[in-house]
Structures are given as C-alpha cells and as structure tokens.
Amino acid sequence: MSGADKPTLPPLTELPGEDAQRPEMKGVEAIRDAWTRLPTKPGVYRMLGGDGEVLYVGKAKNLKNRVGQYAQGRAHTNAVYRMIHQTVSLEVIVTATETEALLLETNMIKRLRPRYNVLMRDDKSFPYIAIRMDHDAPALQKHRGAKSFKGKFYGPFASAGAVNRTLNTLQKAFLLRSCSDSTYSGRTRPCMLYQIKRCSAPCVDLVSGEEYKGLVKDSVDFLEGRSAALQDRLAVEMREASDQLEFEHAARLRNRIRALASVRASQGINPSTFDEADVFALHCEGGQSCIQVFFFRAGQNWGNRAYFPRHGAEETPEDILAAFIAQFYDDREPPKLVLTNVQPTDSELLEEALCLRAECKIEIRKPERGEKREIVDAALLNAREALGRRMAETGSVAKLLDGVAEVFGLSQRPERIEVYDNSHIQGTNALGAMIVAGPDGFVKNQYRKFNMKSEEFGGDDFAMMKAMIRRRFARMLAERDSPSSLAEEGLGVEGRSDEPLPESLNAPHPPAPQGRGGEIADGGVDFSKERDDGERETKFGAWPDLVLIDGGDGQLNAALEALEELGLKNRIVIAGIAKGVDRDAGRERFFIPNKPAFRLDEKSPVLYYLQRLRDEAHRFAIGAHRGKRKAGIAKNPLDEIGGIGPARKRALLDRFGSARGVSRAALAELEAVEGVNTELAKRIYDFFNDNKR
C-alpha cells in the first residue's frame, strides 16, 4: 500500500509547554514533574535528553499510569535506569485510541530512531512482479516502490534475485515483452529476446493482438494461483495439437508446461490450506536472535529473508517479535494471515493496528498443528541455521579484529574501521573514497565519495589525501557539535552520556552481543537484515576506532597534518598500508606515526583481512572514478545553462546539430528556436561567447 493509500489518523492533540521541566530538573525528578500534568488518555510520549535528543518513544492506553511507572524510580532494568537518568523533558501527543497510539508510535520510532527503542534498520521496499496494463501490449517487469501506473502487482518477493528467476521463467512460459514503451515503439524488427524465445515480438506484429491477450491472461492466471488448472489446460491443448500433426505448436506448449512446472518446483513449500500469508519464525540462542520471514502469495512460496535483532537479556521473544512486526508493516501492506512460532505481545492490539492500516481483517496466529504448523517449523529451522552461520561468522571476524587491535596497539577490539584511497588521472576527475568495516563486515551504506577539485590539491596525491581527511573529520566535528540538529533529523546522538552515572546504575549487566558500548542499550532491540551493513549513525558524526590510509609515509604524514589542523592528531588512531616490493600482495608495509615501518607474516590471517580492506577501498575508488569520468565524457555544455531542460535541449540540437553548432549560432538564430525566448537566447549566447574569451 502506498503512502497515499494509508488511512488518515484522526486529529491528534499535542500538549506543548505543559510538559516542559525547569532546566535544573533531570531524571526521575523531571519525569515526576511532567507526570503531574499528564491526562489519563491514550497517546504517545517522548523522553528527551539534554541536547534535545529523542531517547525513547512509547505508547500507552493511559499516559498518566504508564509514565507513573517511570516516576517510581525502582524495579527497572539497567537500560531503563540509564534512560531515566538521561531524561530532562517529556513530550506527549494524545490520541483517540490505543490503536492509533500504536500506529503513531511505530511511525515516530522509524522517523526519529531513538536510542532506547526497537529499531528496524532494513526498511527497503520489497520487489514485485508487475504486468503493466496501460499499453495495448502489456509488459511483464520487476517493480519496486509506489504503484503509480495502471497494472497488476504480484508480491512481495523476498529479494530481487527471486523476482529475476521467476521473471526469466515466466518469459519462457508466456513470451510477454519486458521492454520499455519507448523501445517498443521504436522497433522495426524483432530483438534478441524473440530470437532466444523469450518474447513473442508484438512490437512488429509477429503475434496477433488476440493471441497476445491470451498470453497475458495465462500469466495472470499463473500469478494469481491458478497454475494447476492452467497446466492441465495447456496439456490438453498440447495433445490436441499433436493429434492434428501441429508438432511445432505442440512443442511450444510442451516448453511452456515445463517452464511452469520448474517455477512451482523451485518454490519449495507450496501450501494448500491458505493462499497468502507471511510467516515469522524467531530463534534465540547465546544472547542473539534471528527472525526468518517467509512470503506466500497465490498459494506459492515467493522467498524468504533473515533478520538479526540485537538485544539484551531482559527482552523476551514475545516482545521482540511484537516490535518487529509493528515496524515491518509500517510502510508495507500486510496479508490477511500472519503466522508466527511465538505469540507476540499485545497481539490483539497489533491486529487492530494492522486492520486499520490495511482496511481489512488481519489475523495473527500461532498454529499448533497441521500444514500451517509444518510451514512455521520449516521457517524456524531456517532461522536456527541462519543464526548458526551468523554466530560462526561473527566469531571468526571477532578474532580478526582482536588481531587488528594487537597489531595497531588498540586498547579494545575496533568496531569501526575507515579506509581511505583516492583516484585521478593527471589531476582530472579526481575522487576520494572512504569505506567502512566492522564486526558485521563491510558497512556499505556508510561508504562515501569525495569529489575533489583541482585547486584543492593541484595534482599532488599527498595534498589530495590531506584535503580529503580534513573534509571528512571537519564534518564529523561539525555534526557532533550540533546534536540538536541531528535529533531533529531523526538521527539521534550516539554514545554514552559524558556525565557519570549514579552507583546504582553501574551494577554489572550483560553486554549487548554486538555494537559499540552504550550505543545499543541492554533493553533495546536493533533489527538488521542478514549481512545488513551499518551502525545507526549514517552521516559523518561516527567516530572511527582505526583509520587506514592506502599509501606509505607521504600519504600518512599528509593525513596527520590534516588531523593536527583540526586538533585530532592524538585522538585518532591512524596507520598507512603500502604495497610491498614489486607491489606483491603479502609483502605490504605498515606505517604508524613515530614508529618504524613493519611487515606482518605472509600467512597471517590479519594480513589477509587488512588486504581485503585495502582492496575494497581501491575497488570503490576506481569504480567511482570511472563513473565520474564516464559522466564527464557524456556531458553536454547545454546542461550547464540554467533554463534548458530536455525539451529545449532537444530543440536546439535538432536545429543546430550539436552543442558546437549552438555555440556558433548568432543571437537571432537562437531566438528563432521554438521554446527559446529572448532572455534565454541571450543567456545561451553569453555562455558560449564568454567561454571563448
């Protein structure tokens, strides 16, 4: 369901000013002061830190009773104690019902990303298969995002790979076109897809309109779950064609039947007791958890995806699953049936919220027997195996990071490693690159590119590295100096409070299984997809534990100069990694400030790991540089002139043949072009003639 289709909540009542505390109040005192003015109505409350950071968002059937539990100041977990201690103010929004409060809470958590809340980081939209019906010859294609055109949509699929495999088979079976409308209208002869029997070529009338509509209807029948009846009908037609000695037609029908059968076989479990459902299976072990989600639509299994929550010992499976499902369907359309292996907390309230969002009855059920139970058990088995693989991978990476800490003299295992490289050709298309790695592997959503201008470095590699490091860490300092602006953007401020905690809050407690100390609270849960990359901090405010520079003494000293200018020289652990003699892998030299260069054993696993980091930074830098260079080659000078869009650009090129022809045109000739007025013609003329001087 798109954002425009979601039901509009009734007007909400916010209580501004009433809950503002005196500046000297903090912790339990601040909460008690706000509690005295709270209504006994349902709503959402926000706990705010000293810099305006949103610490926690919660919902309540009775705001006064719920916040009163915090005001008591006892019987809380360590994480809640920390949250209460850091709270300086509390804001409230009153809603009409508890269901509306749940919907609003979920939306605010995803937008504000509070430190102490359940966080589902992987909120990318799932891919669908779409049959576009806004053309005489409907097209079969993959679709992601808003459903902004007329057509039929089938999904969601667990991944783009699952969609691509299904599309490939559907093309074999139904021969529907997959090209864009502009490509379709410009064809004068069949394309390669027709030659390899993936399209019936309606663009050049090699299939009649009626026959093509029949192919579209067959594909709709298959995607809507009527595949068995379709295969039976095709089998009858194949026998009839064979009896009439139409062997080529019979062979085509045979190939379609095989393609349809292969789709059903590759989808594994295909239920018979329900048409559509999502299956959630949660497995917990060793302080970690995995949630496996299976998608069933039209009686077919359309793939699965694994998520890994990070949480403390206090969190129960029921609470984890309830929080996950609420955020999972915040911007996705739920099916009518949701199957789980544990009953989520407040499942009836969750059902009401999903019903309000989907405008139909939604059922959340924990099956006890039969086919549904077997499917849930199969999902649970996948969750158990995925968590086992995850724990094994995490353990091996942890050992490597311990080795990195030993090599570079770190006091603890690095959680965030940044690697820098740059690429240019004689100073042109210069581009710097930063990659990030951590306990979960490469953090690709935090990779950054730096477009460098020639005046910043003048073709000097060392100066380019200095400019890149200066730019990155200046941004880090700027973002950390303005936490309120980050809170407004919903980014939050990472790390523990600098103020000491009371003795009662310093009691030993189980650490979070992953993440930096203090960033994931023991009572909080942070959802991430399998191999999901990234910490919660997604801008430049994150503080690295180790910085690696691709280069030797020269690049390292240039980076140190930049850090010294920013006052960070002795606060950032930085090292250089240079290619060995004859640029042989395994003979790399490492440079650390104020220490002689050294090498690691050629068979050291830590060396292999550092090589991977260096090579990934090099790959990212080279790829970005090539993309920038390619874009520069295709760049047209007309794109630099304000007021020239695609239509006017096309009119100018049609009239003068090329940008060079436009540059040679007289002012009167430019004014004669359709869509170009006197002012724009003067702007175009001045642009090219000023550049000639």
For residue 418, the model assigns a pLDDT of 94
Among 49-63, 297-311, 504-518, 583-597, the least confident range: 504-518
Pairing of strands 441-442, 428-438: antiparallel
The predicted structure's pLDDT at residue 120: 64
Residue 492 is predicted with a pLDDT of 33
pLDDT at 558: 92
For a pLDDT cut of 90, what percent of the chain falls above it?
10
| 70-106 CB burial, b ≥16 within 10 A, e <16 | bbebeebbbbbbbbbbbbbbbbbbbbebbbbbbbbbb
Please give the Cα distance from 301 to 303 (Å, whole number). 6
The rounded distance, in Å, linking the Cα atoms of 130 and 304 is: 19
Assign 455 a pLDDT band (cuts: 50, 70, 90): low
Count Cβ atoms below 10 Å from residue 500 Cβ, excluding itself.
9
pLDDT tens column, 640-660: 788 888 888 888 887 887 778
Q: Which of 196, 260, 273 is nearest to 228 (CA)?
A: 260
Give the DSSP H or E segment for 257.
helix 247-266
Angle between helices 247-266 and 160-174 (to 10 degrees): 160
Instruction: Round to the nearest angstrom and report the end-to-end CA distance of the chain.
Output: 57
- Residue-level pLDDT at 560: 93
Mean pLDDT across 238-267: 73
Q: What does 139-166 look like in DSSP terms, one character per residue?
A: EEEEE-S---SSEEEE---S-HHHHHHH
Distance CA(506)–CA(81), nearest Å, equals: 10
pLDDT value of residue 313: 61
Contact present, 548 and 575 (Cβ < 8 Å): yes
How far is the C-alpha of 453 from the C-alpha of 464, rounded, in Å? 9
Task: Name every residue whose Cβ is closer than 8 Å to that of residue 205 and which is 6 or more positions away in sequence.
Answer: none
How does the average pLDDT of the chain come out, rounded? 77
Model confidence at 383: pLDDT above 60: yes
The whole-number pLDDT of residue 483 equals 42
416: confidence class by pLDDT, cuts 50, 70, 90: very high
Residues 6+ apart with CB under 8 A from 298: 154, 223, 224, 225, 275, 276
Q: Which domains does the chain have, with CATH numbers?
A: 3-117 (3.40.1440.10), 128-266 (no CATH), 277-389 (3.30.420.10), 417-496+514-623 (3.30.420.340), 637-692 (1.10.150.20)
Which of the pair, 590 or 100, is modelled with greater confidence? Answer: 590
Q: Could you give the CA distance from residue 88 to residue 85 in angstroms, rounded to a whole number?
A: 8
Grade residue 262 by pLDDT with cuts at 50, 70 and 90: low
Q: Starting at the earlier edge strand, list the strands of the sheet with 43-48.
A: 13-14, 89-94, 43-48, 54-60
pLDDT per residue as tens digits for the range 221-247: 777 767 667 777 778 878 888 888 888
Between residues 15 and 210, the one the model is more confident about? 210
Among 157-161, 326-330, 683-687, the minimum mean pLDDT is found in 157-161
| Secondary structure (3-state) at 684 | helix
Contacts of 333 (CB under 8 A, 6+ apart): 1, 358
Asked if the model's pLDDT at residue 184 lies above 90, the reply is no
Lowest mean per-residue pLDDT among 12-16, 53-57, 290-294: 12-16
